[in-house]
Structure 1
């Protein structure tokens, strides 16, 4: 296993244990089990051949779309949302798997067809995943999937004329339904209005920005070295999940927060290095998985410090949540496997 990835992954999982422990001590036991699952997923990612996953990427993405349809019919969640399958004590969120299947499917398509091939089919399948997540409703994850897919198209070198044509067509199709969506799922506009209230200094406990205000209190109270795992965290909704970065910093201090930022920066730089050393679809997979982990981390941290509206995005490898830990662990394991293959290619090149 790649020592950089392994160390970064284990440290982030350890920070997650601290953050969940200080936020919701009664959840620490179940989170330890989830961390164990993430480590097993990491090992599975190392064992699975990227070529095998690329070969079956289309089927994997279709299976994910099937799960996204099924969860709308049979799924459950708080407040009437339909995002999770509950199997006894185990809950699974298909939209997390969509982040992984999207990366492998688009890399597989570009590898087979090239980057100047019509992309209507892949754009439709990406849009299908985005639309199904959007009506769960999970606006933030849908927007993240759309952003991730768009970035992968751009990084693959798809001509701008094709991207603009698809974007324009999608906008014309979806625009007439935007008013209906916002009226049906009012929480989306409420979060944005709450964020604007926060920017104007008018946030109060009845607005979405209350979370951000409380998270900033926790960040300020942390101090350089933190309050320790036994500290009393200010009231902060979803401090173990959507706002776990604030819990981590509260317990470990500003120094701990900087270490977490450095670990994600390390993942980004390592992923870029692997991307440059590989060729073909493997390079795009490395970039896609790196973007999944680091871009989502940036969004989570941006929300916590008040730069972005509340999204509800988990912090990869840190937040409480079985689906997120499982998929992020699998993604990190796949990056370890790609790192090993890149190193082997380097050795063969120098020996030839």
Structure 2
């Protein structure tokens, strides 16, 4: 067993408990339940052979597409969005699962066909995934999935010219519908307008950038060592979820915030090193899951400190949210399994 990944997971989840406890004490019990489910998910990811998941990657991603289609019909959510299946006290968001199955599907495809094989089929499947998430609507997650898929194609060695040609074709198809989409889902443009107002110093409590200003206020009030887990957080919308990093810093101080950043940085370095030690599709899985966890963390923290527009993308392993915790916990378990499988090869190499 490689203790690195479980230790990183436990530490980040512990920070999450502190952040949620400060932001919304009444939700701490529910978050504990979600953490309790994420730990078996991590164990399951560490038990399942990656080759088994790669062998059934297409079926798993097609099942995810079915769930994404079904949630548009039977799903629910605040403000008329359709992103979640509500299962009693728990909820499930298929778009979180799509981040995981997309990595396995693209890694499996490249492993079977090679990097110079025509990628129209996988590109259409990625586009279908992004499109279904886009109409939920969840613009930020759709953009994240598109970015993740693009990175995986590049890491697999797919030629630039092929990616550019497919991207241009996709833009030509989507461009006529952009106006309809933005008028139907006005929150997308409102978030960008709010971010521009923040950059110009004109943000008000009625604008999206108000969250960013309040998050910055909480971070400044934290001081080097924080206000402690029992302190009262300034008014901050979504402090337990989208802005949980500010809650964590408020409770643990700038030192705690730096420690969270350091943990994600270590996670990236370890995943990058792991992908170099692996061969074939397993290498792409290691890098893809590492990017999923660390790139999403960078986006969330970038929003919190005001570098990016508000996206609604959760902070992996920390934010309140059952789907995100389950999927990120499973991803961490898979990385632990991949790390463990490299060790016998290294021992044999040294002994020979």
* Equivalence for 2:315: 315
Deviations 1:160-214 (A, max 9, x none): 1111111111011011111110010000000000000000000000000000000
Aligned-partner SS, 1:86? strand
Q: Verify: 1:256 aligned to 2:262, yes or no.
A: no
State the shift of 1:350 in Å.
2.4
Corresponding position of 1:133: 133
Deviations 1:284-310 (A, max 9, x none): 000000000000000000000000000
Deviation at 1:57, TM superposition (A): 0.1
Q: In the alignment, which residue of structure 1 is the partner of 2:47?
A: 47
Q: 2:265 aligned with 1:273, yes or no?
A: no
**Partner residue in 2 for 1:154:** 154
Q: CA deviation at 1:7?
A: 1.2
SS at match of 1:226: coil
Partner in structure 2 of residue 8 of structure 1: 8
Query: Unmatched 5+ residue regions in structure 1?
Result: none
Partner-residue secondary structure (3-state), 1:30:
helix
Do residues 27 (structure 1) and 27 (structure 2) align? yes
Give structure 2 stretches of 5+ with no counterpart. none
Partner SS state of residue 232, structure 2: coil
1:208-287 correspondence runs (5 A): 208-287=208-287
Which TM-score applies when normalising by structure 2? 0.99
Cα distance in 2 for partners of 1:282, 1:344 equals 16
Moved over 3 A (4+): none
Give, in angstroms, the shift of residue 351 of structure 1.
2.7
**TM-superposed deviation, 1:6:** 1.5
| CA deviation after TM superposition for structure 1 residue 348, in Å | 2.2
Q: Deviation string for 1:203-255 (max 9, x for gaps)?
A: 00000000000000000000000000011100000000000000000000000
Instruction: For residues 49-102 of structure 1, give each alpha carbon's deviation from its aligned partner in whole angstroms, at most 9, with x where no partner exists.
Output: 000000000000000000000000000000000000011111000000000000
Distance 1:273 1:170 in 2: 34
Count of residues in correspondence between the two structures: 352
Q: What SS is found at the alignment partner of 2:158? A: coil
CA distance in 2, matches of 1:319, 1:343: 32
| Equivalent runs, 1:83-162 vs 2, <5 Å | 83-162=83-162
The aligned runs of 1:192-203 (5 Å cut-off) are 192-203=192-203
What's the CA shift string for 1:116-155, capped at 9, x where partnerless?
0000000000010000000000000000000000000000
Secondary structure (helix, strand or coil) at the match of 1:127 reads helix
